[in-house]
Chains A and B, each alone.
Chain A
Amino acid sequence: MANSHQLKRVDFIFRNDNDWEKILSSTIKKKPQELINELISSELKGRGGAGFPTGLKWKFCSQEKADKKYVICNADEGEPGTFKDREILSKVPYKVLTAMAVCGYIIGANEGFIYLRGEYKFLEPELNKAINEFEYYCKEINLDFKIKIFMGSGAYICGEETALLESMEGRRGEPRNKPPFPTQSGYMGKPTVVNNVETLVHTFTIFKFGAKKFYDLGVQYSRGTKLFSVSGDTPKPGIFELELGMSLQDFVYEFGDGDTKAVQVGGASGYLVPRKKFKDAAIGFKGKLTGISLPTGGSMMLFNSSRSMFNVLDNYLEFFREESCGQCTPCRVGCQQLLLGIKAVKRGEKPASYLNKLMRLTETMQLTAKCGLGQSVANSFSSIVENFQEEMIY
């Protein structure tokens, strides 16, 4: 991989063989335990960004005893720089629906929801058409599974699974304490699997081709493929399915404009990698990759030398300040103070050393914020401030 600069393009997700009916009917003939083992051995991890092993999630939920369980597809794709889930739902909705039904079969749920962000409301009519056709087929094969769309209304935090559940229950999208995890007590207090759109499509791939085909792609601890949403200063913006584990250097060779100064991996809640660290950074979950390993929901934003990193951070912080649910103090006040703080340093009202204070504030947020939003502000903040301190000050 090191010097080849070749990214391995893969085509599983958008390949449409129109065989979902066959896959669905043959998959639900297998035993749930067998399917769970298949998923676990594929080592598929959640593709929303957090990377929880999908097979385990389904296993835990299947072990719960309850009169009612739910499957929820998280289509509240709000991380800046990601747009892959929209593409999946508009191009291969049947794969998502099939995966939801198989999940329902495995865990013992007969009801599923797609939580669709308000910004994607235009997808609703087509998606409802697909659901109708899908449910018709389920009836034909005597599979009791219903899917409804639940519309969001413009709140980034509802992509956090427990905030999503609160929202579905008619409340403010404020994250819950964990545990209990949704697999134990989710929607309406019932065991619930919440999976990202892309994660579900990967399970379709695994049920179709078997775990080995998926496992053979990628690297240790980061198996399979991933959709990357590429934007910013690139001649090739768009959505690309690539093997996990690629080096950022190779990525920039393929997608850079020849003047790439930094890449934001994982959106505003992810990390900014400066040019000098491209060769040490690999895209995947933490593990035995040498150097820095960067987990991501697939957002890859490229910045060239014409961009001010101060403006980039300023934009992210404004985003977080507005999208913080306001429930816990470290995140609510922290986001406000970080934004005020960097502006004060830039204007010369605070000394450069004030940045260190702000860095300590992000550490506090990382330790004490209730959910991933407040905890992850530190990622972009520290990686930008550490690598581009001069741009923050002058």
Chain B
Amino acid sequence: MDPIQSLVKDLADEYGRKRESLLPILQGVVEREKYLSEYSMVEIAREVDIPAAEVYGTATFYSFLETKPTGKYIIRICKTITCAMKGKNQMLFAIQDMLKIKLGETTPDNRFSLLESNCLGWCHKAPAMLINNEVYTELTPEKVRDILSGYMKQNGQI
């Protein structure tokens, strides 16, 4: 068994092989692999015994279930009204400048992907962003640069 097959099998053992197990399995693959490849979706379909088109249709509905390759760290900047009012574009520029990527892109070393997201639920501490599951609020460009430097150091690069 290749790594994807055994990951899918493990997840199915944990969550079951029913239709209602599908979301936790998809989430489990994204957690580990960062995205759902066509291959992994076909494997999930086989394991749960439903058409691959159903798996694809379900996966592509959810904005946190990526179906394109993404970096190890997915940065999601909130773009909804309060964050937009409180300067989320400045945060975006700071990140783009530092990582040398545009919105929707991944750094060549596959460490960071930059995305926008709808309301993250931190309007009272806007602007806000998520890096994977971690929340960062009341951002300023300086704060954003510090946070990113922290992540870069973790990876032994500056």
Q: Does B24 contact A (CB under 8 A)?
A: yes
Complex Cα–Cα for A238 and B138 (A): 13
* Shortest distance between the CB of B75 and any CB in chain A (Å): 14
Q: A119-B120, A238-B124 are in contact. Are A154 and B19 (CB under 8 A)?
A: no
* Shortest distance between the CB of A16 and any CB in chain B (Å): 21
Complex Cα–Cα for A155 and B61 (A): 8
Q: What 0/1 readout, one digit per residue, does chain A (312-323) give for beta carbons within 8 Å of chain B? A: 100110010011
Q: Does A49 contact B (CB under 8 A)?
A: no
Complex Cα–Cα for A121 and B28 (A): 13
Which listed residue, A78, A153, A307, touches B121 by the CB 8 Å rule? A78
Complex Cα–Cα for A315 and B82 (A): 10
Q: What 0/1 readout, one digit per residue, does chain B (102-115) give for beta carbons within 8 Å of chain A? A: 00000000000000
Stretch among A92-100, A135-143, A163-171, A281-289 lining the B interface:
A163-171
Complex Cα–Cα for A315 and B96 (A): 22
Q: What 0/1 readout, one digit per residue, does chain A (198-212) give for beta carbons within 8 Å of chain B? A: 000000000000000
Residues of A within 8 A of B117 (CB): 119, 154
Contact call B124/A229, Cβ cutoff below 8 A: yes
Residues of A within 8 A of B27 (CB): 151, 153
> What is the size category of the interface that chain B forms with chain A?
35 or more
Complex Cα–Cα for A33 and B131 (A): 48
Q: What 0/1 readout, one digit per residue, does chain B (50-61) give for beta carbons within 8 Å of chain A? A: 000000011001
* Shortest distance between the CB of B69 and any CB in chain A (Å): 18
* Shortest distance between the CB of B136 and any CB in chain A (Å): 11
* Shortest distance between the CB of A303 and any CB in chain B (Å): 8
* Shortest distance between the CB of B21 and any CB in chain A (Å): 7
Which listed residue, B18, B79, B82, touches A232 by the CB 8 Å rule? B82
* Shortest distance between the CB of A339 and any CB in chain B (Å): 14
Residues of A within 8 A of B24 (CB): 150-151
Residue of B nearest to A322 (CB): B118
* Shortest distance between the CB of A8 and any CB in chain B (Å): 21
Contact call B82/A301, Cβ cutoff below 8 A: yes
Q: What 0/1 readout, one digit per residue, does chain A (67-97) give for beta carbons within 8 Å of chain B? A: 0000000000111111100100000000000
Q: What 0/1 readout, one digit per residue, does chain B (19-35) give for beta carbons within 8 Å of chain A? A: 11111101100000000
Which listed residue, A79, A118, A171, A268, touches B64 by the CB 8 Å rule? A118
Contact call B119/A172, Cβ cutoff below 8 A: no
Q: A78-B118, A170-B22 are in contact. Are A268 and B81 (CB under 8 A)?
A: yes
Q: A78-B119, A232-B123 are in contact. Are A153 and B20 (CB under 8 A)?
A: no
Which listed residue, B63, B126, B135, touches A154 by the CB 8 Å rule? B63
Complex Cα–Cα for A254 and B129 (A): 29
Residue of B nearest to A312 (CB): B81
Which listed residue, B23, B62, B123, touches A168 by the CB 8 Å rule? B23
Q: A81-B119, A155-B61 are in contact. Are A169 and B20 (CB under 8 A)?
A: yes
Contact call B80/A83, Cβ cutoff below 8 A: no
Which listed residue, A121, A154, A170, A229, touches B18 by the CB 8 Å rule? A170
* Shortest distance between the CB of B58 and any CB in chain A (Å): 6
> What is the size category of the interface that chain A forms with chain B?
35 or more
Complex Cα–Cα for A83 and B122 (A): 6
Q: Does B125 contact A (CB under 8 A)?
A: yes
Q: Does B2 contact A (CB under 8 A)?
A: no
Which listed residue, A78, A173, A237, A319, touches B125 by the CB 8 Å rule? A237
Contact call B121/A86, Cβ cutoff below 8 A: yes
Contact call A80/B81, Cβ cutoff below 8 A: yes
Q: Does B133 contact A (CB under 8 A)?
A: yes
Residue of A nearest to B135 (CB): A122
Contact call A172/B58, Cβ cutoff below 8 A: yes
Complex Cα–Cα for A322 and B117 (A): 10
Residue of B nearest to A268 (CB): B81
Complex Cα–Cα for A152 and B121 (A): 14
Q: What 0/1 readout, one digit per residue, does chain A (97-139) give for beta carbons within 8 Å of chain B? A: 0000000000000000000011111100000000000000000
Q: Does B65 contact A (CB under 8 A)?
A: yes
Contact call A81/B123, Cβ cutoff below 8 A: yes
Complex Cα–Cα for A137 and B27 (A): 30
Most chain A CB inside 10 Å of its own CB: which residue of B23, B130, B133 = B23
* Shortest distance between the CB of A175 and any CB in chain B (Å): 13
Residues of B within 8 A of A264 (CB): 81
Complex Cα–Cα for A77 and B122 (A): 11
Q: A153-B26, A167-B23, A319-B118 are in contact. Are A80 and B82 (CB under 8 A)?
A: yes
Question: Can you list 25 residue pairs at the A/B interface with Cβ under 8 Å?
Answer: A78-B118, A78-B119, A83-B121, A83-B124, A86-B121, A119-B120, A120-B121, A121-B133, A154-B64, A154-B65, A154-B117, A156-B119, A169-B19, A230-B124, A231-B124, A231-B126, A232-B81, A232-B85, A239-B124, A264-B81, A315-B79, A315-B84, A316-B81, A319-B80, A319-B119
* Extra pairs beyond A172-B61, A188-B20, A237-B123 (10, CB < 8 Å): A80-B80, A80-B118, A120-B121, A150-B24, A154-B62, A156-B119, A170-B58, A173-B62, A268-B81, A301-B81
